[in-house]
Structure 1
């Protein structure tokens, strides 16, 4: 027995011992580990939700969150694979077990342990094929961590190694995945074209064809894209994959042939198919994109609104629809309030883990501020035009405004009443139910974020900012007629019709009309003081609009127009030096204009902070050598309470500190001094200016805290 045991030792090199451990490792521990991995990958693949609005990844991401439901299987795979390393050291399956162990740890998010196992196979593996497979998986792990340089290094090495057919297929797919994730679509599709002959017909192959087609779409090669969309249907796709493939193919046909109309290319057939009832929103969305591509903006908006209405539980698609509507309202229609409302709606339902979430949130914040400033400019413009009229013209104009508002209100209320009657009739035909539920869709209006936001905008326009309190309308009851209140909501058809007959609006000459007239006239700046206040509001708002265009919305041309308007309408504006500097920055593509604004700034404001920033001359080392002493002298003035003198000195000498290691420190002291001398508003502007001019400063976190505290204190005040 001792001899037999010794002969079967895992450290023995005898043929009998090796054969025994090969069989034991392969058909016991490794087999069960491999089965666990196969089941776990199948479950993860089934649970993975494809986003067909985005580029499909060639390989499914290694997501530890996605792996949580199958964590017990992966842990069991690790346990079984470890048995091979512990008890079958002389087995030929030890390399495979380490690869399986490393893969399981990568799925679980245990990156360090997973990478270590794969590197061990490469360094100590006995089989060249297994070593190559470990490197392919290592390359994929680097891609998941966005370590593209190391992934490319591994790919370079593998490209020089003899690979088996299976390893070559996996290597090509992984390399194509690397270039896809790095945004190199042309290289990625070129590799995939070499890979397809190595792939068997399967749903996964159909999915890779779809990813290739999407990359060809992004490269503008729509005919090649359609070739791969057709290949999807020849490779056993699931229903959704086949649906999106057909829809994208139809979209490309319209793009390739401008004479083809959106309505007769085949989308109508997809809409009639009952199997597509829950996918109609995608069809309408695509039709909206094509209509916009053909410059048919009203049709595009109509299709996108139909897409939003047709969404049945697919909040992600609805979010993309709102984003598209927001972009069209902003860029094509310049309806900024509606654009803001759609961004609000998209942000409400877009998952925070979505790649667009942060971009949409930033855009929404910028647009919030933009709409505020734009409304101020529009309002003050209108009021100033009214103020320049003679009294008789002014009264007539105000009466016309009231009449137009009343006419619009009555039309909207009539339209709403007719829609309500239709909804009630449809509800009764279906056997009763909630009259606010329309058609068979059973949607309540207050569940639609776009309608809610539109209602908020309409309310604020008519009533202003009202606190939450009882009887909030009592102080201006006649204004109720301007906005309309659907008094017939929930009533039957007879009550609705009666309300329609009674809805005659305000009558000119009545006390109610006169009260509304007086309220509107009260806002017109008729005195010199009121007109000056209005001018200041408009000046500040135009200046802020220019900065929002330049820094938040990244629209240099509109920023230039806004800044030049400030200089034209307000030649003595307090922002003149900064506007010169911002015009210098905004004219990136116009060298002559850029140089012109630089010359203006240097000639009119040679000692300003902005002149220092555009001045290309470098300072000598002597200046920076004295910078510390000068800073200490100015800080002493600050500490002694001599704020005005310290601020004058620092602003006078600030250009001389350019290039010094203490440059941002001087600027920070200037922010403190402005807060002491010029008040909270100027202090807030100085903080914003510092954050923009010194984005890499070590003092930036402190400035952000100061900005937040200043905003809170301004709000309380």
Structure 2
């Protein structure tokens, strides 16, 4: 028996080994071979890749944190901020199924493998690659093509079988002929001998020869008849054999379903992410209209269609589809998410009653504490908004939630909801107070913190309190996700308010100092004492809170004296740590001394007889504020008060400048014309004949004109024409075409400069020099492009007269045109000339401006280390490990170079090759920022620069990345 089992095992192994040959045609594979390829493809590669993708989806879902103040994403894994975190696992999955496709091309799981590749790319948010993969699969694995391939395979097998059958028939015929021929020959030989004897006998007797026996006459026919009969039998057997060939193709224990429809569904999702809505709708309609669409695919269609409309911000159209999705979805938490999104949409549309019902529906599905809490929070608000409850009831419910210990971590959200109710009721101050409470209790919910900051910023901005608005916009930028659609607007307002807030602070400070300057010494001292008192109170409060924190009782009422583990904590013998001892001592004290107030010298009946010697107190405790301050102390608390006339005049000049700038900024940056007018008129009223009078009146003239107040606009026009009739502003007022004439003049100037620059670029240095020096005569020394003409003249001089004249001309540019881009450029060229004596003006200019924007070209990534002594090998290992983890499939190569003119200046640089284009290189760059913990040690100072091949060559020529850094920041970090 054992021998039989061994023999059987050998046969199976040999059969599988023969089936492993990847070069075989599918028609050449046996049933056992097909079984081997299908089994190996599924369990060796596909199954493991599918498990990796499932785990990656779970990781992305856990990574995402829902922001309940915004519309929730339908699928958490699509909203993950850092998909690079799962890139290593997804790359491994792609690698596994790629191997499956190569080794088991004819297995039934090839289409599923392509599907997994597309899903992995989708989860990495590489939607372009996902589209390519899924489109290929949708084109190559259509049901028609799959049937055609299957039919061709069966046909090939039939042909192969027919050939094999013919060979067998031929062998049988040959064998039959051989046997028949041998038998017939013997009989013929015998008959011939008998016939010859009979002939001899007849001749002896003189008789006629007898006729030939039948066998000697038709022997050949008989020989051929036998094989023909045999062949006929074989043909019949062959026909019967063909009829018995099985037509079923069963998968056995490996049930398989074509992945074509799954691919269409994921392709539709990819098209939604790519904003190709027509294509997405086409694939969804194809699945919806298909009569053979699988039931599980059909169940996913409503959710995908709802996602389509949400992506397009067609919220109303998404509602009925979300309703269908809830009915079709099997997972309870996902159903709750859909219901919550429906509630949010109703809330956005102002339909409080429907929103309340939807939130209640989501709550009934028990989605988890966080969503349940937010459902209750929103139900409290919507009960009031829908009219089914009062604002007082809503506030009472929210305050009740505040007291619930379970909601301790969610106080920030509760206070935010209270603020929303207060603001809707028109109670701005209470709303602001609750928003600040929301920020006070904010712990880990960064999204909520951003919403509270942004709401406060908006409130202060609306009330034209621009300093706190600026501060809150800055805080918002720190907390708000950069992918948030509101981020650019917040950033714009923050930048617009920088100078506005700065000038407001200047005015407030100088005004307060001027007020202090008008006070008497006694009044100043009293104010300084008040300030000191408040500071001392704040310090006492801070020390008190610290003391409470350090003496807070631990478990069982005992003070926690050690943060060490249980093994290091010992029971203290100090009596005050024993609750029973403390209580016993308190009872004995009260029995002996009575209930005495806690104060110094509590034992003495006459406090005035106490000794003047105080016990040494080792703890620093703030003493009571003195009633008298010295002059220096007053200055310390009140600042530099302007006392002389010169100091007062200087403070007033600062206010004048700040008021003028502020008025102009209100008009230009915020388009707040009333505020601009009020500020400029304050300047004109407070400081008649100020240094900004003409510009101030002109700004008022424009502001009133913009508001349509013709009378006031004309009023300031007349003032300008009366007092400043020769000014350019007067010319503009008198001649409406003056601005266009100035524009024509400016156009001529720009054209002239372009001609001079073109001459220089073409090597006509003498012509470029002549045009540059003539510009001053033709357009005046104060023309807007004079610094450019001066630099161009200097560069032409260098080409005509050599390095010494070039350096001298550049120094003149530096001296004559301070604080201009041309001065900076001239300084940089001088630096380069000092380091490289071979540099000439044209070449120097190229060294500064030679970088080109080539977004679609091949890119490298440079890692520039600022420390010459960095351990380059360790850095290489760190980068290599990062690449292996997050960019395994890119097969990036690392090399190192050194840049610098001398040994002291040389900096080590790692070069990563290569990336398809700017987009791919920037994706790597962003990944190093998001996953910096897995990159180079943060203690090492380094910079990362994506760069094209051509720009890389220019950096090598320059032997420095200084100029490229400027180019990179301007063109890559948008």
The answer as to 2:410 corresponding to 1:304 is: no
Shift of 1:541: 1.1
Aligned pair in 2 of structure 1 residues 158, 386: CA closer, same or farther (>3 Å)? Answer: same
Q: TM-score, normalised by structure 2?
A: 0.50
For residues 632 and 639 of structure 1, what CA distance do their matches in structure 2 show? 10
Aligned pair in 2 of structure 1 residues 349, 617: CA closer, same or farther (>3 Å)? Answer: same
Indicate the residue corresponding to 1:155 in structure 2: 281
For residues 642 and 259 of structure 2, what CA distance do their matches in structure 1 show? 81
Indicate the residue corresponding to 2:26 in structure 1: 11
Deviations 1:108-143 (A, max 9, x none): 355544322111022222238855543432343344
Aligned pair in 2 of structure 1 residues 637, 538: CA closer, same or farther (>3 Å)? Answer: farther
Which residue among 615, 619, 642 is the counterpart of 1:523?
Answer: 642
Q: How does 1:476-625 map to 2 (within 5 A)?
A: 495=621, 499-500=623-624, 503-506=625-628, 512=631, 516=635, 523=642, 526=645, 533-550=650-667, 552=669, 555=672, 557-563=674-680, 565-566=682-683, 574=692, 580=698, 590=707, 605=729
Structure 1: state its 5+ residue gaps. 388-393, 435-489, 652-664, 688-698, 710-717
Shift of 1:56: 1.8
Structure 2: state its 5+ residue gaps. 1-13, 145-257, 562-616, 722-727, 758-767, 794-812, 825-848, 853-961, 967-974
For residues 7 and 579 of structure 1, what CA distance do their matches in structure 2 show? 88
Aligned to 2:391, the other structure's residue is in SS state coil
For residues 593 and 172 of structure 1, what CA distance do their matches in structure 2 show? 59
The answer as to 2:337 corresponding to 1:207 is: yes
Which residue among 51, 66, 76 is the counterpart of 1:35?
Answer: 51
Indicate the residue corresponding to 2:421 in structure 1: 290
Q: Is the 8 A contact 2:268 2:284 kept in 1?
A: no
For residues 704 and 143 of structure 2, what CA distance do their matches in structure 1 show? 61
Q: Is the 8 A contact 1:179 1:188 kept in 2?
A: yes
Aligned pair in 2 of structure 1 residues 633, 120: CA closer, same or farther (>3 Å)? Answer: closer
Q: Is the 8 A contact 2:300 2:329 kept in 1?
A: no
For residues 614 and 153 of structure 1, what CA distance do their matches in structure 2 show? 54
Aligned pair in 2 of structure 1 residues 195, 349: CA closer, same or farther (>3 Å)? Answer: closer
Q: Is the 8 A contact 1:271 1:280 kept in 2?
A: yes
Indicate the residue corresponding to 1:640 in structure 2: 773
Aligned to 1:605, the other structure's residue is in SS state helix
Q: How does 1:346-495 map to 2 (within 5 A)?
A: 363-381=493-511, 394-396=518-520, 399-400=522-523, 402-411=525-534, 413-414=536-537, 417=540, 420-421=543-544, 424=547, 428=551, 430=553, 495=621
Shift of 1:203: 0.8
Deviations 1:133-170 (A, max 9, x none): 434323433444xx32x234332453355153543454
The answer as to 2:353 corresponding to 1:223 is: yes
Q: Which has the larger radius of gyration?
A: 2
Q: How does 1:62-461 map to 2 (within 5 A)?
A: 62=78, 66-83=82-99, 85-87=101-103, 89=105, 93-127=109-143, 130-144=259-273, 147-148=274-275, 150-156=276-282, 158-159=284-285, 162-163=289-290, 164=293, 165-189=295-319, 191-257=321-387, 259-261=390-392, 264-332=395-463, 334=465, 337-342=467-472, 363-381=493-511, 394-396=518-520, 399-400=522-523, 402-411=525-534, 413-414=536-537, 417=540, 420-421=543-544, 424=547, 428=551, 430=553
Aligned pair in 2 of structure 1 residues 625, 679: CA closer, same or farther (>3 Å)? Answer: closer
For residues 305 and 715 of structure 2, what CA distance do their matches in structure 1 show? 49
For residues 300 and 715 of structure 2, what CA distance do their matches in structure 1 show? 57
Aligned pair in 2 of structure 1 residues 608, 281: CA closer, same or farther (>3 Å)? Answer: same
Aligned pair in 2 of structure 1 residues 668, 561: CA closer, same or farther (>3 Å)? Answer: farther
For residues 170 and 246 of structure 1, what CA distance do their matches in structure 2 show? 29
Q: Is the 8 A contact 1:67 1:107 kept in 2?
A: yes
Q: Which has the higher contact order (CA 8 A, sep 6+)?
A: 2
Aligned to 1:506, the other structure's residue is in SS state coil
Aligned to 2:356, the other structure's residue is in SS state helix
Shift of 1:292: 2.9
Q: Which moved more, 1:231-240 or 1:2-11?
A: 2-11
Shift of 1:549: 3.6
Deviations 1:451-496 (A, max 9, x none): xxxxxxxxxxxxxxxxxxxxxxxxxxxxxxxxxxxxxxx9869x55
For residues 39 and 704 of structure 2, what CA distance do their matches in structure 1 show? 72
Shift of 1:571: 7.2
Aligned pair in 2 of structure 1 residues 505, 330: CA closer, same or farther (>3 Å)? Answer: farther
Aligned pair in 2 of structure 1 residues 627, 74: CA closer, same or farther (>3 Å)? Answer: closer
Q: Which moved more, 1:316-325 or 1:630-639?
A: 630-639
Q: Is the 8 A contact 2:659 2:683 kept in 1?
A: yes
Q: Is the 8 A contact 1:307 1:321 kept in 2?
A: yes
Q: Is the 8 A contact 1:542 1:566 kept in 2?
A: yes
Aligned pair in 2 of structure 1 residues 69, 649: CA closer, same or farther (>3 Å)? Answer: closer
For residues 424 and 791 of structure 2, what CA distance do their matches in structure 1 show? 49
Q: Is the 8 A contact 1:580 1:600 kept in 2?
A: yes
The answer as to 2:57 corresponding to 1:57 is: no
